[in-house]
Amino acid sequence: MDRRKIDVVLATISIVVSVIILTNDSLVEGGVETELGSLFLPRIVAGLMIVFSAAMAIPSLLGLLRQAEQTDEEAISTTGFSGVFIYIGIFITYWLVVPYVGFLVATPFVMFSIAALLGGRKWLPIVLMSVITPLMVFYGSLHFLRVFLPTWTLS
Amino acid sequence: MLENILNGFSAIFAIGPILGIIAGVIVGITFGAIPGISAIMAIAIILPLTFYVDPIIGITMLLAVYKSGIYGGSISAILINTPGAAASFLTAKDGHALTKAGKSGKALDISLFSSVSGEMLATLVLILVAAPISAISLQAGPIEKVFVLLFAFTVIATMAGGSISRGLLSCTLGMMFAMVGLSTITGASRFTFGVTELMSGFTFTPMLIGVLVMPEVLNVIRRRKQTQGSMTITRSSNPADNRISLKEFKAVIGTILKSSGIGTFIGALPGLGSSTAAFMAYGEARRVSKKPDEYGKGSVEGIAAAESANNAVCGSSLIPMLTLSIPGDDVAALLMGAFLIHGLTPGPMIFFEHTETIYAIFAGFLITDLFLLAIAKSGFRFFVKLASLSRYYIFPCVTIFAFTGAFTAGQNMNDILILICFTVLGYGMRLVGLNPAIFIIGFILTPYLEQNLDQAIAIVGTDYHLFFASPFAWVFILLSVFFVSSNIWMKRRRQQPQSPSSLQEAKT
């Protein structure tokens, strides 16, 4: 993947967002009047973001237009990205499921899935780890930290 | 001051803080020794555990994780040539060469002794220097603080990372995210788009774990098909190869002291960090060495220089944070967040408002070195075994700790959504060369900037020239200009093609 293309897209998004912040007053609601106002600093920062985004994107854009050869720094290797997407998918599912089935039920499946994703094939120790760790974390949090991790709410 | 220090020691010598330090040292060495887990990751994971204990216990525990995590990085560097951080790169070069020669015990020993010496020296400097500097910085009013903060933003964003524009963009992104929610000055809600959950802004802990910890996990997932190096301590039949003798230690003590001094000085300057310190100290030690040819091929002196400088940064990087509220590097930014969570606002007032707590933390920071020495020395084999666990045992646990840590902050599931969103953002930032640590520094410092800017404007009214009336302001403007221009100059110099004569010199 060519980082220069991402630079240009990222800078464009950043500049558009900054322009919206600079021009739109409805991004702030309520508050008292002060010398500076609530949007003074955000607008200064938005102005700076335009400058820095442009400073980042212009060399990349020039490189693309001149069809200059990619440097090592500008090449993003996509090897192994499928695993990253699977991991994020597991995490999002975990977030959605935990409020209903609880931490103690959902966590072993998540740990097992991640261990399998990482290439773990020693099933017995992985299963033991997946069951014991959530138990320790759940009761440790409950008794030592007074943190009540989500429990089963399906019934 | 002496009385405060003694009071600090009496506060730290209690069961709670000592257990906290021991736990912190064990966790720090273990996490530091695991390839792929850095000290900053260890602190971010442990941070939520400290919410519910006294600040003296919580902060000293985090500092113990920090110190021992930095040291722990040298274990994997020496044994499997995998430096956990850039600062351990030089340790890996010499240390692994010794390991291959069957002298890993010697390498681990000298690394431990130099790390502890460097850390102790820097901690003593921190204790002796921080309070007097804070007394000076107390003279600074809101106008001067605005310039101090602008100095911090500029220097940290330009010094860290490869590209100045990317560093500064990371900082402004962090600043923008910090302004989401209710303004502490006007009470207005900004960028909430009617979402009530955003009124209180982004919760710090899940954001921190998302930006700094989880991208490391994603990196490991991405490289999951690469084989994992196994750590073993090589033993030589000659006992002298498995340890460092008093004579050998005496021979490098000068290097350790000098490198610790370099590390302490570099650490006190915001933005430079431990890698710069390690490289400078290593270069200087090699320059004056009687055996410069051994460097990079298993030099005990080289390990001593790199490790003492690298670890000396731990103590001195807290000087700008505690005296000027400027976190010098990513770990200091994280620790600043931890101080804030515990109700301690880093800055000159901390020495007057929380005298007993801060000196107890200092005392704890100092005695951590002794615990590190004792625990690491007696448990090398244990830590190596623990750190050698397969990644499919370690990273599922890290994921669950991250989940629990994020949930612990506010005990609600929205924080997990924040964790997921910032994980993606943090990983994306790394891919495109933006710096997540600078993002966090921008996030932490922005409320201070806004508050002081508002007060400063109220003071000067329409007489804007008063902004530049204080010598303090000019000092920081000049320092900012100096740091930025010298950084640009250094980068240009590095990019310049080498002249034929210098290439010839390099060849010879």
Interface residue of B222, B408, B434, B484 to substitute, partner A, most A CBs within 10 Å = B222
B458 reaches A (C-beta below 8 A): yes
Decide if B190 and A42 are in contact by the 8 Å CB cutoff: yes
* pLDDT surpasses 80 at B493: no
Contacts of B400 in chain A (CB under 8 A): 107, 110-111, 133-134, 137
How far apart are the C-alpha atoms of B495 and B474, rounded to whole Å? 31
pLDDT band at B503; cut points 50, 70, 90: very low
* Whole-number Å distance between alpha carbons of A73 and B166: 13
- Per the CB < 8 A criterion, the answer to whether B286 and B264 are in contact is no
Residue-level pLDDT at B505? 44
Higher pLDDT, B424 or B437: B424
Give mean pLDDT, residues B181-196. 87
Chain centre distance of CA B236: 35
Higher pLDDT, B420 or A26: B420
Say if the Cβ atoms of A55 and B165 lie within 8 Å: yes
Cross-chain residue pair A91–B400, CB shorter than 8 Å: no
Q: How far is B180 from chain A (nearest CA, A)?
A: 10
Cα dist. B260→B70, B269, B302, B507 in Å?
A: 15, 14, 13, 32
From CA B150, how far away is CA B159, in angstroms rounded?
14
Separation in Å, CA of A62 to nearest CA in chain B = 16
Nearest-CB residue to A35 (from B399, B420, B458): B458
What residues of chain B lie within 8 A of the CB of A30, using their CB?
187-189
Of A14, A86, A147, the CB nearest to B411: A147
- Helix B436-460 to helix B142-159 angle (10° resolution) is 160
- What is the least distance, in Å, from the CA of B432 to any CA of chain A? 6
Lowest mean pLDDT among A5-9, B186-190, B330-334: B330-334
Comparing C-alpha atoms, which of B355, B361, B373, B408 is closest to residue B57?
B361
Distance (Å) from the alpha carbon of A61 to chain B's nearest alpha carbon: 14
| Sole residue written with tokens 């933005």 | B271
**A111–B52: do the CB atoms touch at under 8 Å?**
no
Q: Does B381 touch chain A (CB under 8 A)?
A: no
Which of A41, A80, A95 shows the shortest C-beta gap to B417? A95
Contact B165 A98 (CB under 8 A): no
pLDDT in tens, A107-121: 999 999 999 999 999
Closest CA to B432 of B234, B102, B166: B166
- The answer to which of A23-32, B154-163, B349-358 has the lowest mean pLDDT is B154-163
Quote the minimal CA–CA distance from B242 to chain A in Å.
34
Quick one: tokens of B157? Answer: 């964003």
In chain A, residues with a C-beta closer than 8 Å to the C-beta of B220 are 118
Q: Name residues whose C-beta falls within 8 Å of residue A150's C-beta, 6 or more positions apart in sequence.
A: A98, A99, A102, A103, B413
- List A29's β-bridge partners, or say none: B189
- The pLDDT value recorded for residue B236 is 67
Q: What is the per-residue pLDDT across B91-119, written as a single tens digit (0 to 9) for each?
A: 888 888 888 888 888 888 899 999 999 98
Query: Tens digit of pLDDT for each residue in B369-413?
Result: 999 999 988 887 787 777 778 889 989 998 999 899 889 878 889
Element (H, E) at B353: helix B350-353
Residue-wise pLDDT tens digits, A28-60: 888 787 777 888 899 999 999 999 999 999 999
Q: What is the pTM of this model?
A: 0.83
- Which residue of chain A comes nearest to B431, CA vs CA? A76
Mean pLDDT in residue range B76-101: 79
pLDDT range class, residue B142, cuts 50, 70, 90: confident
**Sheet containing B189-190, strands listed edge to edge, beginning at the edge strand earlier in sequence:** A28-29, B189-190, B181-182
| 3-class DSSP state of A27 | helix
Query: Taking a contact as any Cβ pair under 8 Å apart, which residues of chain B between 94 and 113 contact chain A?
Result: none
pLDDT band at B194 (very low <50, low <70, confident <90, very high): confident
Q: What is the DSSP track for B334-347?
A: HHHHHHHHTT---S
To the nearest 10 degrees (0 to 180), the angle between helices B164-178 and B471-495 is 140
Does residue B502 register a pLDDT over 60?
Answer: no
B133, burial (CB in 10 Å: exposed 0-12, middle 13-18, buried 19+) = middle
Tens of pLDDT along B35-63? Answer: 777 778 888 888 888 888 888 999 999 99
Inter-chain residue contact A88 with B424, CB threshold 8 Å? yes
C-alpha–C-alpha distance, residues B484 and A11, integer Å: 23
- Partner-chain contact A42 B173, CB within 8 Å: no
Q: How far is CA A20 from CA A50, A58, B467, in A?
A: 11, 21, 30
Query: B interface mutation test: which of A2, A38, A139 has the most B CBs within 10 A?
Result: A38
CB contact (8 A) between residue B176 and residue A144 = no
**% residues pLDDT > 90 (chain B):** 16
Neighbour tally for B126: CB within 10 Å: 24
B185 in contact with A at a CB cutoff of 8 Å?
A: yes
Mean pLDDT within B435-439? 86
Give residue B278's pLDDT band: very low, low, confident or very high (50, 70, 90): confident
* Residues B396, A53: C-beta atoms closer than 8 Å: no
Reply yes or no on whether the pLDDT at B162 is more than 70: no
CB contact under 8 A, B396 and A29: no
pLDDT of residue B508: 38
Reported as a pLDDT band with limits 50, 70 and 90, residue B23 is very high
pLDDT 10s digits, A71-130: 877 888 888 899 999 999 999 999 999 999 999 999 999 999 999 999 999 999 999 999
| Residue count of chain A | 155
The pLDDT of residue B483 is above 90? no
Per-position b or e across A132-150, b if 16+ CB within 10 A of its CB? ebbeebbeebeeebebebb
The reply to whether B175 touches chain A by the CB within 8 Å rule is yes
A5-21 mean pLDDT: 94
A41 contacts B453? CB cut-off 8 A: yes
| Range B49-78 average pLDDT | 87
Q: pLDDT at position B86, please?
A: 66
pLDDT confidence of residue B145: 84
Is A56 within 8 Å of B221 when comparing Cβ atoms? no
Top mean-pLDDT range of A140-149, B182-191, B424-433: B424-433
Query: Cβ of A56 and B165 within 8 Å?
Result: yes
> Cβ B188–A38 below 8 Å, yes or no?
yes
B396/A35 CB distance under 8 A? no
Residue A131: pLDDT band (50, 70, 90) is very high
Going from the C-alpha of B494 to that of each of B488, B489, B491, B497, the distances in angstroms are 10, 9, 5, 8
Nearest residue of B to residue A76, measured between CA atoms: B431
Chain B, nearest residue to A40 by Cα? B450
Segment B146-162 mean pLDDT: 76
Look over chain B and give the mean of its residue pLDDT values, rounded to a whole number.
84
Q: B479-494 as b/e, with b when 16 or more CB fall inside 10 Å?
A: bbeebbeebeeeeeee
- pLDDT score of A138 more than 80: yes
Please give the mean pLDDT across all residues of chain A: 90
Q: Is the pLDDT of residue B2 over 80?
A: no
Distance from CA of A65 to the nearest CA of B (A): 19
User: For residue A107, what is the nearest residue in chain B, using CA coordinates?
Assistant: B400
Shortest Cα–Cα distance, A120 to chain B (Å): 5
Q: A34 contacts in B (CB within 8 Å)?
A: 185-186, 454
Instruction: Kindly report the nearest CA distance between residue B450 and chain A, in angstroms.
Output: 7
Using the predicted structure, report yes or no on whether residue B235 has a pLDDT greater than 80.
no
Q: Do B433 and A46 touch (CB under 8 A)?
A: no
Q: How confident is the model at residue B291 (pLDDT cuts 50, 70, 90)?
A: confident
